[in-house]
Amino acid sequence: MEFLDPEIEQYALEHSEEESTILNELNRQTHLKILQPRMLSGHLQGRILSMLSQSIQPKTILEIGTYTGYSALCMAEGLQNNGVLYTIEINKELAPFAQKYFNKSPYKNLIKMMVGNALEIIPDFNFNWDLVFIDADKENYSNYFDSVIERVNKGGMIIADNVLWSGKVTRPTSKNDIETKALKTFNEKVHSDSRVSNVLMPVRDGMMIMIYSENKNGI
């Protein structure tokens, strides 16, 4: 299933900032060598992640779900010079592929990759986050949100990917469709949480963007 009409997507790409040489290479190699390349953030979404990161100039970024490293490299473009981006990937077989491109990039000293279960790793961090990107197993989106929400600096941003799930969230869900159920629950959970302001953007497979403000009603 295409996320967007191919002609519209091509027009959008032609009128958006080009991806860097290293991102272009990573994009191509992911499609050639890695299973499920559809999981890659890609050019258009990558430019959005870069722009959002540059707009808040984070000192600390947490990414849950590295895949091949494309989104991490995009968000790193907005990091402060003394900033750090921690990216957690549960699939140890993907880690060397992503690390190869981190090492090629200008951000090789700013990106720290960790391999393992994010829900076990996150509690060990002793600082807060300016930007969090969630792009991992959908069943745990609500758990990931709960694990980071009180560790996000006021005015910080949380972004969750794939929240439209190819449109499945708009349709009745079978009892065996755990991922869609989990995403519906997550979307409702975020939308009703008074600590964040949120917007669900129909970009690619859906991006939920949240700003942590302690209480969006100012109470």
What is the residue whose two structure tokens read 């069943």? 139
**If pLDDT is split at 50, 70 and 90, which confidence band does 47 have?**
very high
**pLDDT reported for residue 71:** 97
**pLDDT reported for residue 156:** 97
Residue 215 has pLDDT above 80, yes or no: no
Work out whether strand 84-89 and strand 60-64 pair parallel, antiparallel, or are unpaired.
parallel
**If pLDDT is split at 50, 70 and 90, which confidence band does 165 have?**
very high
Mean pLDDT of 85-113: 97
**If pLDDT is split at 50, 70 and 90, which confidence band does 83 have?**
very high
The residue ranking higher by pLDDT, 13 or 146, is 146
Residue 160 has pLDDT above 70, yes or no: yes
**pLDDT reported for residue 40:** 87
Residue 58 has pLDDT above 70, yes or no: yes
Q: Where do the domains of the chain lie?
A: 6-32+42-212
**pLDDT reported for residue 159:** 98
Q: Is 6-32+42-212 in CATH node 3.10.620.30?
A: no
**pLDDT reported for residue 107:** 97
Mean pLDDT of 194-202: 96
**Contact in structure between 132 and 58 (CB atoms under 8 Å):** no
Question: How far is it, in rounded angstroms, from Cα 193 to Cα 175?
Answer: 26
The per-residue pLDDT for range 201-210, each reduced to its tens digit, is: 998 899 999 9
**pLDDT reported for residue 194:** 96
Residue 219 has pLDDT above 50, yes or no: no
Mean pLDDT of 18-24: 96
Mean pLDDT of 73-93: 97
What is the residue whose two structure tokens read 């009409």? 5
Residue 4 has pLDDT above 90, yes or no: no
Mean pLDDT taken over the chain: 94
Residue 175 has pLDDT above 90, yes or no: no
